[in-house]
């Protein structure tokens, strides 16, 4: 299993970084960055999923984005700041990731236009994801949003078996657990998903895509336009 963003880096830069890779198995609930933390390490998910969230003063949490095997955690380090801002990065699906100190890639970013192109294109893709999320949350119904969210999780962990509870889905979508349960039952009735013991299984991906809102395809196409289709593992 590889990380799409790492694979998009120039081969010579990838090889130099690879000597510094630390392979981790990360548990659910692990916080990679808190607001205000100095970014000393970057994380490239392989099979884990990281939620990017904002928590209000009232303690309410909303997901603004996700990072999986086509993203990274710590992009702020290349955008002129060394700290996270108001966002929190926490592992929601346990799995593997690559950890590497930020300095080597930051030096490559400053010296190499091809590296800058990759990371700036990635930043543009993340902005597109966050912007589309904002529009989606405002304009689309829960059933469409839930279908889209399941597909995006699937793509980022490369599996149709999703260790997701309805409680967590409700928190990330900003709706009550009961609402997610109602929508999930409709998808199950149509044979698109099944839910058993804290696991959600995508049984019909094409059918689920037909239910999901247009935002799923928009974000996916924009990512592929900016960073290309997944390359073979090195």
- Domain region containing 150: 141-212
Q: Which two tokens stand for residue 87?
A: 């966002």
Same domain, 117 and 149: no
- pLDDT category at 64 given cuts 50, 70, 90 is confident
Q: For residue 3, give the 3-state DSSP assignment.
A: coil
Instruction: Please state whether beta strands 193-196 and 95-101 pair in parallel, antiparallel, or not at all (unpaired).
Output: unpaired
Tens of pLDDT along 180-210?
A: 899 999 999 999 999 988 899 999 999 999 9
* 163 within 8 A of 93, measured Cβ to Cβ: yes
| Contacts for 200-209: CB closer than 8 Å, 24+ residues apart | 200/150, 200/162, 200/163, 200/164, 200/169, 201/160, 201/161, 201/162, 202/150, 202/151, 202/154, 202/160, 202/162, 203/160, 205/151, 205/154, 205/160, 208/147, 208/150, 208/151, 209/147, 209/151
Looking at the structure, tell me whether residues 65 and 93 fall in a common domain: yes
In this model, does residue 232 exceed pLDDT 50?
Answer: no
Question: Is the separation of the CB atoms in 73 and 7 below 8 Å?
Answer: no
Within a domain: 107: no
What is the average pLDDT across 47-73? 84
Cβ-contact 184, 195 below 8 angstroms = yes
Residues β-bridged to residue 89:
33, 52
Strand 61-67 vs strand 88-93: parallel, antiparallel, or unpaired? Answer: unpaired
Q: What is the CATH number of the domain that holds 180?
A: 1.10.10.10
pLDDT at position 220 over 60: yes
Predicted confidence (pLDDT) per residue in 6-34, tens digit: 999 999 999 999 999 999 999 999 999 88
**Is the per-residue pLDDT at 68 higher than 60?**
yes
For residue 118, what are the CA distances in angstroms to 6, 7, 104, 218?
9, 10, 15, 20
pLDDT at res. 51 = 87
- Number of domains within the chain: 2
Q: Same domain for 31 and 65?
A: yes
**Residue 97, domain CATH:** 2.60.120.10
Pair (125, 15) in one structural domain: yes
Residue the block writes with tokens 């010579």: 12
Residue 233 within any structural domain of the chain = no
Neighbours of 191 (CB within 10 A): 10
Cite the beta strand spans of 27-160 per DSSP E.
Answer: 31-33, 41-45, 49-55, 61-67, 88-93, 95-101
Least confident of 117-121, 219-223, 225-229: 225-229
What are 112-169's pLDDT values in tens digits? Answer: 999 999 999 999 998 888 888 888 888 999 999 999 999 999 999 999 999 987 777 8
Q: How many secondary structure helices (H) and strands (E) does the chain include?
A: 9, 10
Structural domain includes residue 106: no
Residue 232 in any domain: the answer is no
pLDDT of residue 85: 64
Residues 131, 153, single domain; the answer is: no
- If asked whether residues 59 and 161 sit together in one domain, one would say no
CB-CB contact of 14 with 234 (8 Å): yes
Q: Is residue 54 part of a domain?
A: yes
User: Is a pLDDT exceeding 90 seen at residue 77?
Assistant: no
pTM: 0.88
On whether residue 184 sits in a domain, the answer given is yes
Same domain, 59 and 120: yes
Q: Tell whether 95 and 157 lie within a shared domain.
A: no
Q: Are residues 56 and 122 in the same domain?
A: yes
């Amino acid at each position: 299993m590889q990380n799409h963003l790492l694979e998009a880096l120039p081969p010579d830069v990838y090889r130099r970084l690879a000597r510094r890779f630390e392979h981790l198995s990360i548990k659910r609930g692990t916080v990679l960055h808190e607001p205000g933390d100095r970014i000393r390490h970057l994380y490239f998910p392989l099979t884990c999923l990281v939620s990017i969230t904002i928590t209000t003063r009232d303690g309410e949490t909303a997901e603004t984005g996700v990072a999986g095997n086509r993203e990274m955690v710590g992009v702020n380090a290349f955008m002129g700041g060394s700290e996270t801002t108001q966002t929190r990065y926490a592992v929601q699906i346990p799995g593997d990731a690559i950890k590497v100190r930020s300095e080597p890639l930051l030096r490559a970013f400053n010296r190499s236009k091809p590296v800058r192109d990759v990371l700036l294109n990635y930043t543009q893709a993340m902005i597109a994801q966050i912007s589309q999320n904002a529009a989606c949350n405002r304009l689309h119904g829960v059933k469409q949003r839930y279908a889209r969210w399941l597909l995006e999780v699937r793509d980022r962990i490369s599996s149709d078996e999703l260790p997701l509870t309805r409680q967590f889905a409700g928190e990330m979508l900003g709706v009550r657990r009961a609402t997610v349960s109602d929508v999930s039952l409709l998808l199950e009735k149509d044979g698109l998903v099944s839910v058993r013991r804290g696991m959600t299984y995508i049984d019909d991906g094409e059918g689920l895509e037909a239910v999901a809102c247009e935002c799923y395809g928009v974000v996916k196409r924009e990512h592929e336009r900016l960073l290309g289709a997944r390359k073979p593992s090195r």
